């Protein structure tokens, strides 16, 4: 799991000091809360209190997460790479916690139940994920060129 | 721009030798072609010929791209990081080429015109991007907790 941050952010220092981070998947019904977390800095404000999100201390890594996000990845810092304005942190995923409501029939995470947000950097909008259009490693087999 | 590949892939060796790569954004009307590129190996087959995609040699970096993908990023290799089964390549984006058909009013790339595919690793499905649900750095300002 890789995340890239500017050195000026509060999160940057937290990751450097604790050698850990968590990633919560922002979803449609927590869009305003997730957006607020991108506006405010944890240096000045308690984002958990201000958004109403529940602060949980990870038992596996030295970082907190919000209980309300449907999927949470707990990561141990492996690599720190300077890439210009940002620093990229690569973490080993120690655990993936999924809310029972977003687990599908096969016991795996179900993207249509998670309803994750897609961030459009161009117009700065949050988009939904639409329906499945095709099966991977499958629909490509029907190409006319391949058959010929 | 970061991509992660296994050493066994043909693309891995190409990137190591040429210190460059391109990324074409797979879109809805090129779903089968994109999927085929994930099934076959360039070591054994000419993916361009078999999919009907047009081979273009980048003038900026030592790598080819397919003309039909609506957005192409041309990257110069900056960092190579071992992350277990995969190697992560981080590239500096030298240019972003967008088809005129996917440029919006403001001259920027328009995600609803690009119609990129979202890959669900859990069920191995390609999903569309749905409509914009909210503005980033904006809708979080209306939270009751923040107002209180």
- B133 to A128: CB separation less than 8 angstroms, yes or no: yes
Stretch (H or E) spanning A145: helix A144-147
pLDDT for position A70: 98
Q: What residues of B are in contact with residue A2 (Cβ under 8 Å)? A: 2, 88
The 10s digit of each residue's pLDDT in B66-85 is 999 999 999 999 999 999 99
Smallest CA–CA distance, residue B122 to chain A, in Å, is 6
Residue B123 zone, left/alpha/beta (φ > 0; ψ -120 to 50; rest):
alpha
Closest CA to A2 of B25, B16, B89: B89
Smallest CA–CA distance, residue A132 to chain B, in Å, is 4
In this prediction the pTM is 0.93
In the DSSP assignment, the letter for residue A117 is: P
The 10s digit of each residue's pLDDT in A110-122 is 999 999 999 999 9
3-state secondary structure of B63: coil
Q: Taking the CA atoms of A76, A78, A83 and A84 in sequence, report the sign of the dihedral they define.
A: positive
The 10s digit of each residue's pLDDT in A17-73 is 999 999 999 999 999 999 999 998 888 889 999 999 999 999 999 999 999 999 999
Considering only the beta carbons, identify the residue of A127, A134, A142 that sits closest to B129. A127
Count of CA atoms in the C-beta half-sphere (13 A) of B57: 3
3-state secondary structure of B129: strand
The gap from C-alpha A63 to its chain's centroid, in whole angstroms, comes to 14
Report ipTM for this prediction: 0.92
- B128 to A124: CB separation less than 8 angstroms, yes or no: no
Closest CA to A27 of A76, A90, A99, A95: A99
The 10s digit of each residue's pLDDT in A71-106 is 999 999 999 999 999 999 999 999 999 999 999 988
The 10s digit of each residue's pLDDT in B93-140 is 999 999 999 999 889 999 999 999 999 999 999 999 999 999 999 999
Sole residue written with tokens 């991108």: A38
């Amino acid at each position: 799991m890789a995340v890239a941050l500017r050195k000026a952010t509060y999160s940057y220092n937290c990751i450097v000091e604790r050698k850990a981070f968590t990633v919560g998947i922002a979803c449609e019904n927590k869009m305003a809360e997730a957006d607020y977390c991108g506006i405010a800095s944890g240096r000045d404000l308690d984002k958990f209190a201000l958004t109403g999100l529940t602060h949980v201390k990870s038992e596996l890594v030295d970082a907190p997460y919000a209980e309300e996000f449907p999927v949470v990845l707990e990561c141990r810092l492996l690599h720190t790479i300077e890439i210009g304005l940002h620093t990229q942190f690569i973490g080993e995923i120690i655990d993936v916690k999924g809310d029972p409501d977003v687990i599908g029939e096969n016991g795996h995470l179900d993207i249509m139940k998670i309803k994750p947000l897609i961030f459009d950097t161009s117009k700065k909008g949050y988009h939904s994920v639409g329906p499945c259009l095709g099966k991977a490693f499958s629909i490509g087999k029907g190409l006319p060129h391949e058959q010929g």
